[in-house]
Structures are given as structure tokens and as C-alpha cells.
Amino acid sequence: MKEKVEKVIETVRPMLQADGGDVELVEVTPNGIVKLRLTGACGGCPMSTYTLRMGIESRLKEAIPEIKAVEQVF
């Protein structure tokens, strides 16, 4: 499943990089939790929770139904 998650992240990454940020996959747990680290400008942005939920999590769940949640790690 990790490879599938990486492919979806690659589709989101250009949007984040355009704003000076990026995303790093930390872990995909066996129970479908994806742990991500937002870096660069996205790491400290007040809108990072919105980006994580509405941008990344929604795309991951749409592409990979086994994904239960996305969590941000610092």
C-alpha cells in the first residue's frame, strides 16, 4: 500500500511545492493510517490542517479506499 500512497502524494506535491512547501511520507500503518510530515512553508502554515484534510487526505481516500485516516507528524 505504501507504493500506492507515494503515487498519490506525487500528484499533490507540485501544488505544495508551488507554495514553498512539500510533504514527506513517514509511515503507512497496517490499519490504514497514513502519517505525513509537511515541510518547508507548509510545516508552519496555519492552513496546514486544511491542506492535510481537504487536499491530501481526500485524494488518498478517493484513490485508496483502505486508507482510514491521515495524521500529521512533526
Domain count for the chain:
1
Rounded to a whole number, what is the largest CA-CA distance in the chain?
32
Rounded Cα distance, 31 and 17, in Å: 29
Q: What CATH number did the domain enclosing 53 receive?
A: 3.30.300.130
Q: What is the pLDDT of residue 45?
A: 86
Long-range contacts of 60-66 (CB under 8 A, 24+ apart): 60/5, 60/8, 60/9, 60/34, 63/4, 63/7, 63/8, 64/1, 64/4, 64/5, 64/8, 66/1, 66/32
Q: What is the pLDDT of residue 7?
A: 97
**Range(s) of the domain holding residue 10:** 2-72
pLDDT in tens, the chain (74 residues): 999 999 999 999 999 999 999 999 999 999 999 999 999 998 888 888 899 999 999 999 999 999 999 999 98
> What is the reported pTM?
0.91
The helix or strand, by DSSP H or E, that contains position 24, with its residue range, turns out to be: strand 21-28
